[in-house]
Amino acid sequence: GENVEQHPSTLSVQEGDSAVIKCTYSDSASNYFPWYKQELGKRPQLIIDIRSNVGEKKDQRIAVTLNKTAKHFSLHITETQPEDSAVYFCAASNTGQNFVFGPGTRLSVLP
């Protein structure tokens, strides 16, 4: 089955700097890669996703890149703000299949 790894497990950046979180997956059939942001005690919120027919997607300060050949995808956050502090989860799935989540990255944006 699918296995998703995520790095780093914790990440601290200064406000205004960029943050990058990387995930790798094992199942080449996976075709959908969402990213969720979870603040303490709250639900995971979908922040951006990418499908296997594109290599990059951007939404304001957030971007995701996908390398299908290497089976890895990354989340990029630019101009980080304190409110970006949260745990970020990547996931991989195939159409109709369950999501497999990475272990999460705890991002701290220091003022």
Q: Which of 62, 72, 78, 99 binds other proteins (CB under 8 A)?
A: 99
CB 95: neighbour CB atoms within 10 A?
9
Give me the 47-86 binding string for other proteins, x by CB under 8 A, dash otherwise: --x-x-----------------------------------
- 50 touches 74 (CB < 8 A): no
Cα separation, 82 vs 23, in Å, equals: 23
The end-to-end CA distance of the chain, in Å, is 41
Extract the tokens encoding 47.
């922040």
Q: Which stretch binds other proteins (CB under 8 A): 19-27, 38-46, 61-69, 77-85?
A: 38-46
Residue number with CB closer to other proteins (74 or 102): 102
Residue number with CB closer to other proteins (16 or 55): 55
